[in-house]
Amino acid sequence: MGDDHDLKEEGGEIAPFDPSKKKKKKKVVIQDPADDSVEKLAEKTETLSVSEGLESTFSGLKKKKKKQVESSILTDEVGEAGEELEDHIGDDEEGEGIDLHPRYPWEGSDRDYEYEELLGRVFNILRENNPELAGDRRRTVMRPPQVLREGTKKTVFVNFMDLCKTMHRQPDHVMAFLLAELGTSGSLDGQQRLVVKGRFAPKNFEGILRRYVNEYVICIGCKSPDTILSKENRLFFLRCEKCGSGRSVAPIKAGFVARVGRRNAGT
């Protein structure tokens, strides 16, 4: 009995009346050969479940679903997705009229799919199979800047080198930007910390670094921080490693710096 049913599920299937089902079917066909062993396992479970299911179709169906998914551990991820889809086809055949599917709102009705629904479905599948592809890519974790005070007039940026490394940027470049934005002077000390003249809070550095990342690190097209900054005949270019796009970035200019402090030093 289970055999018959399986054949029907895979081979024949005249039932579909909507285009997306065909897609589903394709996927099933692709993973067919690998699935054969699983199918045999599934037969047993199915017969079991059907015999149970005589009492109430609802619980039976549910059980079958679970067991099939369990058996599909043998196959790889793609197989799993396919199997789940297969499940749905099976359910469509059996559970006609009964609305068992909270997952997809269109199932059980003849209406057209809406864009949002299909989009959501695609993203769900993507997320299940390989979560790193879908959703939030903007997980560039940067540790907050650690700042010490050296005396009363100097500030030490302790994890400056770390941050440069996480951003994959030359410390020189980052330093030039920081100093230009802060409007002061500074230098690297013996332990590769940045010493800046003036009193600054960690929050100040954070804001500037954020601007730096937006301007010189993040790729505009795909928002990925995997970029390389290179200098080609006096111009800085940013090339993205993920999507291959490139753009030019503005050179760092300090702009006008007013004279602060005693005047008789220069003249």
Judged by the rule CB under 8 A, the positions of this chain that interact with other proteins are: 180-184, 198-201, 203-205, 207-208, 255-258, 260-261
Hunting for tokens 């650690």 — which residue is that? 146
Least separation in angstroms between residue 104's CB and other proteins is: 22
Task: Work out how close the CB of 184 gets to other proteins at its nearest, in angstroms, rounded to a whole number.
Answer: 7
For residue 29, the minimal CB distance to other proteins (Å) is: 19
Q: Specify the residue, 105 or 198, whose C-beta has the smaller distance to other proteins.
A: 198
CA atoms within 13 A on the CB side of 229: 22
| Helix-, strand-, coil-residue percentages of the chain, each rounded to 5 | 50, 10, 40
Nearer to other proteins, 151 or 190 (CB): 151
Tell me whether residue 11 or residue 144 sits nearer to other proteins (CB atom): 144
Q: How far apart are CA 96 and CA 250, in angstroms?
A: 63
Q: Report the 10 Å Cβ neighbour count for 35.
A: 21
Compare residues 15 and 148 and give the one whose CB is closer to other proteins: 148
* CB closer to other proteins out of 87 and 181: 181
| Shortest reach from residue 223's CB to other proteins, in Å | 16
Q: Which amino acid is at 2?
A: G
Task: Please tell me the distance from the alpha carbon of residue 39 to that of residue 72, in angstroms, as a whole number.
Answer: 9
What's the min distance (Å) between Cβ of 149 and other proteins? 14
- Residue 182's contacts (CB-CB under 8 Å, 6 or more residues apart) are 196, 198, 200, 204, 208
